[in-house]
Amino acid sequence: MNLIIFTPANTGSAIGRMAALVTHELVAQGCRVTVVRTEVKPLLTTNTHDFGTLIIPWNDEALVLELILNADAIIYHIGDNFDFHEGGVRWLADFPGLVCLHDFFLGHLFYCWAEKYRSPAQTVLEHWYGIEAAGQFFGFPDGESFIEGTREITPMTEWICSQADGVITHSHWGCDRVLNSCSGPVRVVPLAYDAPIRAANASDTASAEAITLKLLTIGNVNSNKRVSSVIQAIGRSHLLKQRVTYRLVGAVSPDMKTTLTELAAQLGVKLLISGQVDDEKLEYVITESDVISSLRWPALEAASASAIEAMLYGKAVMVTDTGFYAEIPDPCVIKIKQTDEIGHIQSSLEALLEDQDRILCIGTEAQHWASQTFTAQNYAEQLIDAISHISRTTPAKNAINNFCKILQGWSTDGLLLSTDELIHPLHIFESINQEMATKEGPENC
């Protein structure tokens, strides 16, 4: 099978890292794969993950078009970061394919795309969400209010999924919008991810005799990682202030760094802010940590690469009981209720200090489950199966679309589209699709 995969390739992209793992597995399973990297133009010359195959830039239009026309299938990895996905958005509009959807909220991706295509963007907003919601989308004063004001009303999930022939995503919680907008097959497949081999028994590094607890948050430091709540939870407890060191590793703005530093000092919390580090240093700080905070509110992603990586390291991970994180088996993580976030973080950390054997038990359970669940082999097999499914359902979908266009051409007011004599014969395609679905079993979403 000859495949074209559109994905960010930059080494800073977790999606790129995942796509590289799956690409190697697809090649091992006998596929021919070409990777089209999708970052904005200034990033197209940066270092890439190891895909083990040819990588070309999305803006080499003649070569990309030639490859597409000779491909058996097109795969698009799409997430909520325009800098990493400009090329995917551009080519998906002209050549639908299988979308691997990494985020159920795509508001930032759409906002940046709309800066170049404001008129079509307005049409998309009005079509999916109505005139009132469309009028509000570009009017929020800051990033936090933008997320809060759009994540439920105008998440832009439908914008991407309606262009797809089929969708693979990585948890169930946001699937309703996908199913309502994608006319092709939709399935949930665990994200493929890995951790360094030498971290395979990393949980053994935690000591039952330890008198302190090393708590870690990794990734870009922003409000939805709940760092402020963690600091406040530690600051409310004399035990935690004495025995917990909280470290942040990842990009952080000067204003955010100042705010968190001042809060920690005010509450007497031991806070270390390391900023961005290289892969070797990141591996070291994860390995030496006891507990990793992967809290998110709101949770917008289909899966969390950082939480999965922490589990693969054998670490006890603290997560918000929402979205993807709620679907992780209870014994594998420490779930925090958002309704009493600070109090629940405090009591959970105190319980871990009183029973440090539990840290090892949670890490062991997490590592065992994650290593069997988030595999490149499974993801590649599911991709190939989804492509086969799409090849059987797309002709029926295209026929329906063509008939609808003809009917629209017959009637400017669209009334013919509700005439039973014309619509009823189209139900034959529903029967075909249902028969095919029955033969290969129900989708797992």
Q: Are 243 and 160 in the same domain?
A: no
pLDDT one-digit tens code per residue, 210-256? 578 999 999 999 999 999 999 999 999 999 999 999 999 999 999 99
181-199 pLDDT, tens digit per residue, is 998 999 999 999 998 754 5
**Residue 440 confidence (pLDDT):** 43
290 within a domain of the structure (yes/no): yes
Domain count, the chain: 2
Higher pLDDT, 210 or 439: 210
Can you tell me the distance from the alpha carbon of 6 to that of 97, in angstroms, rounded to the nearest whole number?
10
Residue 442 pLDDT class (50, 70, 90 cuts): very low
> Is 28's pLDDT higher than 70?
yes
Last-in-domain residue among 373, 405, 431: 373
Among 188, 208, 228, which residue terminates a domain? Answer: 188
- How many whole angstroms from its chain centre is CA 343? 28
Q: Are 18 and 111 in a shared domain? A: yes
Looking at the structure, tell me whether residues 219 and 170 fall in a common domain: no
Mean pLDDT for the stretch of residues 25-37: 97
Q: How far apart are CA 308 and CA 192, in angstroms?
A: 9
Most confident of 181-185, 325-329, 407-411: 325-329
| pLDDT given for residue 238 in this prediction | 96
Q: Which residues pair with 275 in a beta bridge?
A: 249
One domain for residues 316 and 236 = yes
**Which pTM does this prediction carry?**
0.89
CATH of the domain at 106: 3.40.50.11930
Residues 6+ apart with CB under 8 A from 81: 8, 108, 109
Same domain for 57 and 27:
yes
| Structural domain that includes position 243 | 197-373
- 401 falls within a domain: no
Task: State whether 202 and 166 are in the same domain.
Answer: no
User: Mean pLDDT throughout 15-19?
Assistant: 98
Confidence tier at 203 by pLDDT (50, 70, 90): very low
Tell me which of 52-56, 132-136, 210-214 is least confident.
210-214
Nearest residue to 98 via CA among 49, 163, 159, 41: 163
Q: Are residues 163 and 214 in the same domain?
A: no
Residue 142 lies in a domain: yes
Report whether pLDDT(419) > 80: no
Residues 86, 40: contact at Cβ < 8 Å?
yes
- Where does a domain end: 143, 162, 188? 188
pLDDT of residue 279: 86
Torsion of CA 268, 274, 279, 280, to 10 degrees: -80
User: Does residue 37 lie in a domain region?
Assistant: yes
- Answer yes or no: do 260 and 167 share one domain: no
- Indicate whether 236 and 318 sit together in one domain: yes
357 in a structural domain: yes
Is 397 contained in some domain?
no
Instruction: Say if residue 174 is in the same domain as residue 303.
Output: no
400 within a domain of the structure (yes/no): no
The residue-averaged pLDDT of 11-24 equals: 97
416 found inside a domain: no
State the Cα–Cα distance between residues 425 and 428, nearest whole angstrom.
6
Q: At what angle do helices 118-129 and 107-114 cross, to 10 degrees?
A: 140
> What is the spatial distance between Cα 424 and Cα 428, in angstroms, rounded to a whole number?
8
Domain of 314, CATH number, reads: 3.40.50.2000
Q: Is the pLDDT of residue 312 over 90?
A: yes
- Which residue stretches of 355-375 are H helix? 357-373
| Cα distance between the two ends of the chain | 26
Same domain? For 362 and 213 the reply is yes
d(CA 331, CA 400): 47
Percent helix, percent strand, percent coil in the chain, to nearest 5: 55, 15, 30
Are 145 and 219 in the same domain? Answer: no
